[in-house]
């Protein structure tokens, strides 16, 4: 392969492939914790949104939410002077406000988790690429060793054939001398 072919192939590589190749050639590790890097970039608002989304998607929230709804309805039905009589207009307003606030917070958290997953997938790709390059390098070394072994075996076989020819010649000479 010429230098121009190699340069053309390197030019076709993407940024991640070049990065993995450079790390492989430099015997550097690619393995790192993308979760730690991602978590370091989070703002306090991001962390709060994740906590709210985690709580909002838990059985604890569902239980508390159901108990609050049941308590609200029971209180207002049992008391003739309840603060929110049937049809519970204030409860509907509170539920609408909760949904209006909770939905974007959950979406923000999901978007961050998707970004985190993309970062993890990118990292996995780099690790797999480096592993593939290392395996290819090992295959080349094994092929080289195999070729060297074949050369050594052919040389040994050649010496053995020469030795057999000398033995055969010596035997013929001995047989020919004994026959006279």
Q: How far apart are CA 161 and CA 159, in angstroms?
A: 5
pLDDT at site 180: 61
What percentage of the chain exceeds 70 in pLDDT? 94
Q: Rounded to 10 degrees, what is the CA torsion of 17, 22, 27, 30?
A: -40
pLDDT digits (tens, 9 = 90+) for 38-77: 788 888 988 888 898 899 889 999 999 999 999 999 999 9
pLDDT classification of 139: cutoffs 50, 70, 90: very high
Mean pLDDT for 132-152 is 91
Looking at residue 1, what is its pLDDT?
A: 62
Q: What is the pTM of this model?
A: 0.59
d(CA 168, CA 26): 56
**Residue 158 has which token pair?**
């050649």
Diameter of the chain measured on Cα atoms: 142
Q: How high is the pLDDT of residue 143?
A: 93
pLDDT digits (tens, 9 = 90+) for 107-129: 999 999 999 999 888 888 888 88
Q: What is the mean pLDDT of the chain?
A: 86
d(CA 113, CA 53): 11
């Amino acid at each position: 392969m010429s230098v121009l072919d190699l340069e053309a192939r390197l030019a076709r590589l993407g940024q991640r492939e070049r990065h993995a190749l450079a790390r492989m050639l430099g015997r550097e590790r690619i393995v790192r914790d993308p979760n730690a890097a991602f978590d370091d970039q989070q703002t306090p608002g991001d962390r709060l949104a994740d906590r709210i989304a985690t709580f909002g998607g838990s059985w604890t929230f569902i239980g508390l939410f159901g108990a609050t709804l049941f308590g609200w309805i029971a209180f207002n039905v049992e008391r003739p002077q309840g603060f929110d009589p049937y049809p519970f207009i204030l409860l509907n307003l509170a539920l609408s406000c909760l949904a209006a606030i909770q939905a974007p917070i959950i979406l923000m958290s999901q978007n961050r988790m998707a970004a985190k997953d993309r970062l993890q997938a990118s990292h996995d790709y780099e690790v797999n690429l480096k592993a593939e390059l290392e395996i290819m390098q090992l295959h080349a070394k094994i092929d080289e060793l195999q070729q060297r072994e074949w050369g050594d075996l052919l040389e040994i076989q050649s010496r053995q054939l020469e030795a057999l020819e000398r033995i055969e010649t010596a035997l013929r000479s001995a047989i020919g001398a004994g026959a006279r």
